[in-house]
Amino acid sequence: MKSSLGNVDPRQVEVVVHTGDKLRKDPDTLGIFIFEDETSLPESGGFPGMNAGDFIRKILMQREFTGRLEQAAVAYTVREGTPVRIILAGLGKKADFSPEKLRIAAAAAGKTAQSCRAGTLSLVLDADQLNLDWSTATEAVVEGVFLGTYRFTFFKTLEKEENKPLSTLALHVSGRQHLPPVREAAAKALKICRAVYFARDLVSLPANELTPAALAAKAREQAGRFAKMNVAVMEGEEMERLGMHALLGVARGSGEAPKFIIVNYQGAESSLPPIVLVGKALTFDSGGISLKPAEKMDEMKSDMAGGAAVLGAITAAADLGLRVNLVGLIPATENMPGGRACKPGDILRSMSGRTIEVVNTDAEGRLILADALHYASKYHPAAIIDLATLTGACIVALGERVAGLMGTDDKLKERIKKAAAKTGELVWELPLWEHYHEQIKSDIADFKNSAGRNGGAVTAAAFLSKFAGTYPWVHLDIAGPAWVTKETPYCPKGASGVGVRLLLQFLVDWREGD
């Protein structure tokens, strides 16, 4: 896919790193981070020919800008006779500071620069003063700028021309000894942002553009960029032969043929077992015969956000050359109310041989995941992690900003929680107690695909657990954060790309033995 972006694009913007004394002669826009209610500035905040420190202190004394988190202000001064735009970005209270706060502040600076139609954004970075290591600080800043300024404008024909993208993001650090780690971290962050952009683009595409076949083609296109990454696509005939009747049952009502996308990344010795990532990919979910309400049904193009996250994360792992082995399993189909559609009351035989009573055709995600999770066992994986926009119940329980976490392995769950704490992609564990498993038992089959509203997120996970085998398994219900209904600090309304950075951090930590 060519860039869908009318604004900042990490695939096109030049990122340069300098020491403070080598600030470009004509800085378009200078960005400085400031803690709330503090008048001290980073030591690298003053530059030859521009008395920025005194100028900014006078602004702070006016109290119009206080440095609170997400706050940004624009001021103008002169450097050697040339006007310079200064963006002040608030970090919030110093006692509450974290890399996530820096990411949010960088996003505010980036969005402000974008609104000013700046060509270059020069950010002053002093990780020592922020009490962060230079790599962590750099990644947070680069991610904040690019993730915060993303816009999906692929189908815009009238206003797209008005958007002026950044041409350069410059990072100015306090000493030459910091240049190598900052440059390395900036390059890494750019690759991560590319992967998040890719996932956001996929989720944003309408269902008439992103069919299961088109998603498979996008996966092949991504794999073609990396020697250690390849994609195989299983067609309906082979799914039939393998007995994937849960997946095929969901697909029956659609005129679009289902695809089972298998992504392999061999980054380590072949003797090491892979981590299997499973992503739900309903390229459109009408609810089937159990039809959804018309209101907001258009957003159901986002029901493939789990598959997009898996594909984005593996792409980023390949781009970064992580020393891990990965398998991505992405069952892709539509859920439509056609004449051959699965009906409430039907019984499907899954690939595992276990039978499923379909009591609600809108509980289809767990059906396609059931076959994918069982298929994962053929790899004898070190761990299985699935991501799915699975239940509205999880949004009711945790809201739109938090993913539900459930699983069978405490160590794996803790690894996910640690990764989430680093990336700011929030997760919260929900229990999988035995009585939830009782709720999914069917009177006429092994299981039923819905236990009703009460505890809906947990009973859905209990259902999935029946197909994950004995391998360490974690389920992430991303129904809330996958599609943002209100702009967040570094995500506009719409697709968030949630899960890409979380999975990647998990994989980095796994590689490093954390």
Average pLDDT, the chain: 91
Catalytic option among 156, 183, 292, 323? 292
Q: What confidence tens digit (pLDDT) does each residue in 212-245 have?
A: 999 999 999 999 999 999 999 999 999 999 999 9
Annotated active-site residue 292? The verdict is yes
Pairing state of beta strands 383-388 and 275-279? parallel
φ, ψ for residue 2, nearest 5 deg:
-70, 165
Q: What is the pTM (predicted TM-score) of this model?
A: 0.95
Spatial CA neighbour of 356 closest among 450, 478, 456, 283: 450
DSSP state of 41: -
> What percent of the chain is modeled with pLDDT above 70?
91
Annotated active-site residue 448? The verdict is no
Stretches where the chain sits below pLDDT 50 are 1-7, 43-49
* Contact in structure between 104 and 36 (CB atoms under 8 Å): no
Domains of the chain in sequence order: 14-175 (3.40.220.10), 200-512 (3.40.630.10)
Catalytic option among 366, 413, 448, 466? 366
Q: What confidence tens digit (pLDDT) does each residue in 371-388 have?
A: 999 999 999 999 999 999
Classified as helix, coil or strand, 227 is coil
Dihedral sign (CA 301, 307, 309, 313): negative
